[in-house]
Amino acid sequence: MTQVGVNGYGTIGKRVADAVAAQPDMELVGVAKTRPNFEAETAARKDYPLYAAVPERADRFAADGFDLAGEVDELVAAADVVVDCTPSGIGAENASMYEAHDTPAIFQGGEDADVADVSFNARANYADAVGADSARVVSCNTTGLSRILAPLSETFGVEKARVTLVRRGGDPGQTGRGPIDDILPDPVTVPSHHGPDVNTIFPDLDIDTLGMKVPATLMHTHSVNVTLASDADAADVLDLFADEDRLFLIPPGADIDGAGKLKEFAHDAGRPRGDLWENCIWAESVTVEGRDCYLFQAIHQESDVVPENVDAIRALRGDDDAAESMATTEAAMGVGIDY
């Protein structure tokens, strides 16, 4: 059993902890948090051992009635692998602690690519991370793009990809974020960081990305154009995608017009927190004009990277069977929508 520590128990960390706890070959050693907020209460209710991420603030937990199992370096020492789910930039600061304990570490996509030996997407480049000391699971948007670009490039070849990412302004809980009633080019310059980030997974892919930000909180939505290197029609693309467990093809007739209904569907299905780990691709949108393939997909920014983190743990531990890892992750979590 691989002993896994999760440093950072916020939006991503709490989901990764649950996913790890559900795996047949992993045990959750504990989770580290900076503040005794409602998410600390969530960890306590789940009986997850709670560690202080910032030793100087440890007494705040006691003051609020939380029992600490220790401080974060004890968690790192006890773990076979640590998953860093701290806010962007903090992961890089933590890297030396993981190295000092010789604990393989997984970072999130908010960190620069050089934080880790390899950037990681299970479907696209699992093998690159096998036995590495560290891996960076790319961001939600890059994960979403990698999952479609991998099968498209393997099967048809990709001449060029052009993607407009219409991003939610903030998560539902990020009440300080905007915009309200506006559509912002963000960044106003081209390309957005997403294209170069995709190139950390597909170094030779020709891709240009444009980013925007709008008054929505539930999911990102991508307007995707992929110029294929060989002829295909929409049915070929749909057939290809139907074989991918981490792609959900929204059926015509489902009356799912946006992220709100997708989340309703996920809640109806009993998904924890209404999570959608899969790319949600509108089947009706998949279109090929000449060799230009188009589609719309919605990406759940809070959860799509969670199965990737689980697979990255196995890769760092030297497990070299990507397909088996992905299948194990999916079975334990319930990833994959059969509609």
**Active site residue ranges:** 140
Instruction: Decide if residue 3 touches a second copy (CB under 8 A).
Output: no
Torsion of CA 161, 235, 251, 168, to 10 degrees: 0
Out of 89, 131, 260, 318, name the contact with a second copy by CB under 8 A. 260
- Please state, in angstroms and rounded to a whole number, the distance separating the CA atoms of residues 117 and 7: 19
Q: How many residues can be counted in the chain?
A: 339
Strands 220-228 and 50-52: unpaired
Q: What is the phi/psi pair of residue 234, to 5°?
A: -60, -35
DSSP one-letter string for 127-188:
GGGTT-SEEEEPPHHHHHHHHHHHHHHHHT-EEEEEEEEEEESS-TT-TT---SS--EESSS
Instruction: Decide if residue 96 touches a second copy (CB under 8 A).
Output: no
Site residue total, a second copy (CB under 8 A): 43
Instruction: Decide if residue 264 touches a second copy (CB under 8 A).
Output: no
Q: How many CA atoms lie within 13 A of 116 on its CB side?
A: 32
Instruction: Decide if residue 282 touches a second copy (CB under 8 A).
Output: yes
Q: Among 9-17, 113-121, 132-140, 214-222, which window interacts with a second copy (CB under 8 A)?
A: 214-222
Instruction: Decide if residue 210 touches a second copy (CB under 8 A).
Output: yes
Out of 238, 284, 327, 334, name the contact with a second copy by CB under 8 A. 284
Instruction: Decide if residue 259 touches a second copy (CB under 8 A).
Output: yes
Instruction: Decide if residue 170 touches a second copy (CB under 8 A).
Output: no
Instruction: Decide if residue 277 touches a second copy (CB under 8 A).
Output: no
- Please state, in angstroms and rounded to a whole number, the distance separating the CA atoms of residues 98 and 75: 10
* 281 close to 219: Cβ distance less than 8 angstroms: no
Out of 94, 142, 200, 221, name the contact with a second copy by CB under 8 A. 221
Residues that bind a second copy (CB under 8 A): 160, 162, 164, 166, 168, 179, 181-186, 188-191, 208, 210, 212, 214-221, 223, 225, 257-260, 282, 284-285, 287, 289, 292, 294-296, 298
